[in-house]
Amino acid sequence: LTTESSKTDLILYQQDSTSELDIEIEIPDTFKQTIELSTMSGDIEAQHISANNLILKSESGEVEIQDTTAKSTSIEIVSGDISVKNSTVEKIVGKTISGNIEVENKSPSDMTLKTVSGSIDVKLVTGTNYIFDLKSMSGDVQNSYRNGTGKPYKLNISTMSGSVRVN
């Protein structure tokens, strides 16, 4: 394992891809800038983070966000699941080619969630007003959410092959 560091970047390289490596990074509560993590093949777990922007990318691996606060979160995966739970994020963008997406945000937010092959399940905050754009080419679309009042948030969900469930 080698590292490179500057005032704004920390880059970690693993030369031997045959061994398993877990890296844990603790970010001070006072750091509120953009946090960007990416892997070629590996899971990303982001817990108890507070940041302006959170950008997570993986070629092959799952991304899980839990107990996190951010103005915006962007997650891009080629093959793997996306999970956002018990977090407060103002804007969520989640994209995966092959994988499921599950979002249970603690606060109302604009969301764009897309997968080619996989299901999308979203639990919304009760009493919030949403504008829905829900699409599935070959799968069920279920929306049991009852709109509330106030400023409408946008919920754009699309999957080519998989179900969409909103409640």
pTM value is: 0.88
Residue 98 confidence (pLDDT): 97
Please report the pLDDT score of residue 95 as a whole number: 98
- Per-residue model confidence (pLDDT) at position 2: 42
Q: What is the mean pLDDT of each run of 10 residues along the chain (167 residues)?
A: 48 56 77 86 90 93 95 96 96 98 95 98 95 96 94 96 97
Q: Which two tokens stand for residue 87?
A: 């977090």
Taking every pair of Cα atoms in the chain, the longest distance, rounded to a whole number of angstroms, is: 54
- pLDDT of amino acid 31: 79
Give the pLDDT score at 91.
97
CA R_g for the chain:
17
Spatial contact of 60 and 78, defined as CB atoms under 8 Å apart: yes
